[in-house]
Amino acid sequence: MDTVFRNRTATVVMLLPALAIYTVVMVIPILWSVTYTFQAGNAISGFEFVGFDNWIKFFGDPTAIDALWFTVRYALVTTVLQVAVGYGLALVYIFFLQNKSPLVRTTIFFPVILPTVAVALMFSRIFEAAPTEGPVNTILQWLGGDLTDFLGTPSYAFWVIILMDVWRSMGFYGVLLYAGLVEIPQDMMESARIDGAGTWKLIRRIVLPMSLPVLLSAVIFSINGTLKVFDSIVALTNGGPGSATTPLTLYMFRTSFAYGQYGYGSTVAFVLTILCLLVTIFIFRSMRRDVTES
């Protein structure tokens, strides 16, 4: 086997099928989409070369800028909460529930496998204001508060979406980070306990520094997923009220397939691609520097 891998010709031959599939499925569609950013029209009316008009239109489009701002805000807040809650769950399991039944991990992970539409329907019922009052509004009125249309108020809808997505994903990040935490040598932990280190000191001095690589992976997973959020928002608010909760993905979908502006829709998609790339590079470099220094 070592002889085969040292042979460059054999290596290329083995890689060619995978590279061919990747090129057809990924590279060609990406390049094709890039060419659309310099064109206007659609498959029915035909395409016309317009140069950088689509790019100029994007940065002068208030709706696109609002969608970009919503996407960035949503991604930053949700990423912080997803990773923080997942890390907290992993720490709780490591320090307090490690000897308990695997049922705990199964219960926490369960929301991850639920269909998005089912979860969105559940949250819409929980925060419902009309025609019937959901549990949240019932409790608020019981406490003397006012009936609140959570999904009809932009500021509240933003946080309801975040709450739903954090609840859905906390099991995934909890299990992902738990898998990294169990790799920390137990003898190091026991030595620190013998020396008198408490739980908080163990986390701050040993667990956190040694779990930075898996934290990096979790942050990159989360930021890329949240920047490309689509299904949960469509299922819960459909971008409303108005366009207050419309991310770039939904704006791109409507522009391309509802309005038939393939060129402008491709421009929106390419802006999102560049944003994902830049954020990933920034996080990777900054956190890798911290991992190296630690």
Q: Is the pLDDT of residue 199 over 80?
A: no
48: β partners: 40
Average pLDDT across the chain, whole number = 86
Q: What is the mean pLDDT of residues 96-107?
A: 70
How much is the pTM? 0.86
Q: How many CB atoms lie within 10 A of CB 277?
A: 11
Element (H, E) at 32: helix 28-36
Contact between 290 and 212 under an 8 Å Cβ cutoff? The reply is: yes
The domain limits of the chain are 62-293
Note the pLDDT of residue 12.
77
pLDDT in tens, 18-36: 889 989 888 888 888 889 9
Domain 62-293 has CATH 3.20.20.60: no
* pLDDT tens digits, 63-74: 999 999 999 999
Q: How far is CA 8 from CA 2, 189, 251, in A?
A: 12, 46, 46
